[in-house]
Amino acid sequence: MLKGKKIVLGITGSIAAYKACLIIRGLIKKGAEVQVVITPAGKEFITPITLSALTHKPVISDFFSQRDGTWHSHVDLGLWADAMLIAPCTASTLGKMAGGVADNMLITTYLSMKAPVFIAPAMDLDMYAHPSTQRNLEQLRSFGNHIIEPQSGFLASGLEGKGRMEEPDVIVSRLENHFAGKGTLAGRRILITAGPTYERIDPVRFIGNYSSGKMGFALAQACASQGAEVVLVAGPVSLATPSGAVKRIDVESCEQMHDAAVEEYPSCDAAILCAAVADFKPESTASQKIKRKGDDLVLRLKPTHDIAAELGKMKRSDQRLAGFALETNDEEQHAQEKLERKNFDFIVMNSLRNAGTCFRSDENQISIIDRNGIQRFDKKPKQAVADDIIGKLSTIL
């Protein structure tokens, strides 16, 4: 889907700049033509000679290439490109893009760009979490830019947290899906549930689980990238809203998620139920913090709504429904039973026995089960897993 596509790759002053070589290689292997635009700080991390050797094009950095009046036209680049990708993108560049501070060739090219823009931030965890950075990201999303969320991991500072640029193969996949997705899910409306639910015990305690919402948000991004209108019903998570046509509904409890899903599903073509919904909640919620008295606290629990079963009963012949099965033993048997019980078209199975997947992880390893059999996948980043799942959904739609 990238064959013949013209991509402007913006590189900024981040230690992750070396990964731009892998991005270039991935894009060119897919048949794309790549023109690099690099900031002055970016050249401190990777040389234009290396980038030029990979792209077979001179690297653009300055407004003027020499003192005879020859200049690089950011306007022409904006008209030439099918897409612009800025990877890595520093906090400084994010701020300049959000504020329209056109003090280098990369920013002027961005401001002149007629094609879709993809941004892959890379920075230390505190910089990424800072309110100014988050504000700039939200501003850029509101402009229609596609944000490729950074991942959690080991950072150049020696710390560990969110801020690590997404892996090059996933970034290339995102661009490929964008061009492939024009029409794949265009005109479709997809409901996705994500994250945990919290069932209150008292004003400060709750019953919940370890779900981070990363898988559900990756699914929402994959759907939006392929042209769908997405309704994302999100439990209590600290994740930024995916870029694109995403309507986000924040909820806390199973009852709130149930009400939102039941209301939205009739107007949707399909739903993917990825949320880790609590199966039980306290019979009553204390209005004040429960004080410790003695050694035992007895809680009486009652079942919560079975959202999947209810949507399965509501499902029309022209709708599709998919769910998840997180298992700890006899995985395939339990998933097959759930597929039938909930009236799913297919079910995504994963297991806590696969180390480094599931809750709080940036990777997952799944199998997709339908009534025709099972398809197994290797362990990979959750955004790539989402692409596999959306590929299945696109096929049955």
| pLDDT of res. 270 | 97
| pLDDT of res. 152 | 77
pTM: 0.59
Q: Look over the chain and give the mean of its residue pLDDT values, rounded to a whole number.
A: 90
Split at pLDDT 50, 70, 90, the class of 294 is confident
> Do 37 and 106 touch, CB atoms closer than 8 A?
yes
How many Å apart are CA 388 and CA 29, to the nearest integer? 21
pLDDT at position 69 over 60 = no
214: nearest Cα among 190, 191, 240, 188: 240
Split at pLDDT 50, 70, 90, the class of 334 is confident
The residue-averaged pLDDT of 210-225 equals: 91
- Pure H helices in 265-381: 307-314, 331-341
Split at pLDDT 50, 70, 90, the class of 271 is very high
pLDDT at position 313 over 70 = yes
Say which residues have a Cβ less than 8 Å from residue 67's Cβ, sequence separation at least 6: none
Select the more confidently predicted residue: 360 or 274.
274
Split at pLDDT 50, 70, 90, the class of 74 is confident
**For residue range 107-149, what is the model confidence (pLDDT) as tens digits?**
999 999 999 999 999 999 999 989 999 899 888 877 888 888 8
| pLDDT of res. 354 | 67
- Please work out, in degrees rounded to the nearest 5, the angle formed at the alpha carbon of residue 42 by the alpha carbons of 41 and 43: 90
Select the more confidently predicted residue: 25 or 351.
25
The percentage of residues in the chain with a pLDDT greater than 90, rounded to a whole number, is 61
Split at pLDDT 50, 70, 90, the class of 326 is confident
Q: Which residues are marked as active site?
A: 209
How many Å apart are CA 14 and CA 48, to the nearest integer? 15
Split at pLDDT 50, 70, 90, the class of 22 is very high
Q: Which of 150-164, 314-328, 348-362 is the least confident region?
A: 348-362
How many Å apart are CA 113 and CA 125, to the nearest integer? 29
Burial 284-305 (b: 16+ CB within 10 A, else e): eeeeeeeeeeeeeeeeeeeebb
Q: 205-211: long-range contacts (C-beta < 8 A, 24 or more apart)?
A: 205/289, 205/290, 207/278, 207/280, 207/281, 207/282, 207/301, 208/278, 209/276, 209/278, 209/359, 210/276, 210/359, 210/360, 211/235, 211/237, 211/275, 211/276, 211/359
How many Å apart are CA 127 and CA 133, to the nearest integer? 7
Select the more confidently predicted residue: 282 or 365.
282
| pLDDT of res. 70 | 57
Split at pLDDT 50, 70, 90, the class of 317 is very high
| pLDDT of res. 321 | 97
| pLDDT of res. 92 | 97
How many Å apart are CA 216 and CA 350, to the nearest integer? 14
Split at pLDDT 50, 70, 90, the class of 156 is confident
Domains belonging to the chain, first-starting first, are: 6-180 (3.40.50.1950), 189-396 (3.40.50.10300)
Retrieve residue 382's tokens.
Answer: 């959750």
**For residue range 169-206, what is the model confidence (pLDDT) as tens digits?**
889 988 887 787 555 787 789 999 999 999 999 999 99
| Distances 69 to 39, 64, 65, 66 between C-alpha atoms, Å | 21, 7, 8, 7
The H or E element containing residue 236 is none
| pLDDT of res. 356 | 63
Largest Cα separation within the chain, whole Å, is 86
Name the one residue in this structure whose structure tokens are 């769908």.
228
| pLDDT of res. 389 | 93
| Distances 105 to 13, 68, 166 between C-alpha atoms, Å | 14, 18, 24
The residue-averaged pLDDT of 299-316 equals: 95
Split at pLDDT 50, 70, 90, the class of 248 is very high
pLDDT at position 360 over 80 = no
